[in-house]
Amino acid sequence: SQQGEEDPQALSIQEGENATMNCSYKTSINNLQWYRQNSGRGLVHLILIRSNEREKHSGRLRVTLDTSKKSSSLLITASRAADTASYFCARPSNFGNEKLTFGTGTRLTIIP
Amino acid sequence: EAQVTQNPRYLITVTGKKLTVTCSQNMNHEYMSWYRQDPGLGLRQIYYSMNVEVTDKGDVPEGYKVSRKEKRNFPLILESPSPNQTSLYFCASSQTGGYGYTFGSGTRLTVV
């Protein structure tokens, strides 16, 4: 499969807790991206991490990348009900950025 | 406002009746792409375009056509729709490599 593997497929946590989602891939990358999708809506780009970066932060989001293990993780700290969504990792499947391949996603539910 | 606009949002059609889903972006992005999203299969790329008159197949191009005559527009054409093309379709655009994609709000297509 050209798609990445995301783990877990679904995650439910209490509001205020931290949520961690993982993404593994098979081929070399020049960047890896994370997106959020609220039910049935368009995807929203959250963060991009380049292959020479190990960690990146954006607000309550922290993304790590381990190219030796071909894996990435997305951490959402101090979760809120509004964080309830599906989260996808995506990576270019060719040298450029135009052919972007998505994982199957993690469905995150925040319980108020 | 920077955005990707798709039309229509919802469409019900009959098998074999040609249809076009329009996509337009106002960010002067070079890359544009079409995806379909199906339960359990995630997002799969149909076609992508690197610039005007430059397009290439994604992972599931069968039954679809695209054209890129202007930088801002990237319509998706279904010459003879079939029920297995019932899906949620997304158009997306991006600056050149190293940037995230901006997605449209989606088109929910039902072919009966």
% of chain B at pLDDT higher than 90: 88
Size of interface A-B (CB pairs under 8 A): 77
Over residues B70-96, the mean pLDDT reads 96
pLDDT at A52: 94
| Residue B16 φ/ψ region, left for φ over 0, alpha for ψ in the -120 to 50 degree band, beta for the rest | left
Average pLDDT, chain A: 91
Q: Contact A48/B48, CB-based, under 8 Å?
A: no
Q: Given a cut of 70, is residue A29 above it in pLDDT?
A: yes
Rounded distance, CA B6 to CA A56, Å?
32
The 10s digit of each residue's pLDDT in A36-85 is: 999 878 999 999 999 999 999 999 999 999 999 999 999 999 999 999 99
Q: Given a cut of 50, is residue A7 above it in pLDDT?
A: yes
Q: Which residue has the higher pLDDT, A94 or A21?
A: A21
Q: Contact A33/B48, CB-based, under 8 Å?
A: no
Chain A residue closest in CA terms to B30: A98
Give the amino acid at A34.
Answer: W
pLDDT at A96: 65
Average pLDDT, chain B: 94
Q: Contact A3/B92, CB-based, under 8 Å?
A: no
pLDDT at A1: 41
A44 touches chain B (CB under 8 A): yes
pLDDT at A97: 63
Over residues B47-65, the mean pLDDT reads 94
Q: Contact A48/B42, CB-based, under 8 Å?
A: no
Contact assessment for residue A79 and residue A17, using Cβ atoms and an 8 Å cutoff? yes
Over residues B35-62, the mean pLDDT reads 93
Q: Contact A92/B100, CB-based, under 8 Å?
A: no
Spell out a b/e string for A7-31, using b for 16 or more CB atoms within 10 Å of the CB, else e.
Answer: eeeebebeeeeebbbbbbbeeebeb
B39 touches chain A (CB under 8 A): no
pLDDT tier, B98 (very low <50, low <70, confident <90, very high otherwise):
low
Over residues B9-29, the mean pLDDT reads 97
pLDDT tier, A2 (very low <50, low <70, confident <90, very high otherwise):
very low
Q: Contact B106/A42, CB-based, under 8 Å?
A: yes
Distance from CA of A31 to the nearest CA of B (A): 7
Q: Which of A1-15, A25-39, B26-40 has the lowest mean pLDDT?
A: A1-15
Question: In 3-state terms, what secondary structure has residue B84?
Answer: helix
Give CA A29 to chain center in angstroms: 15
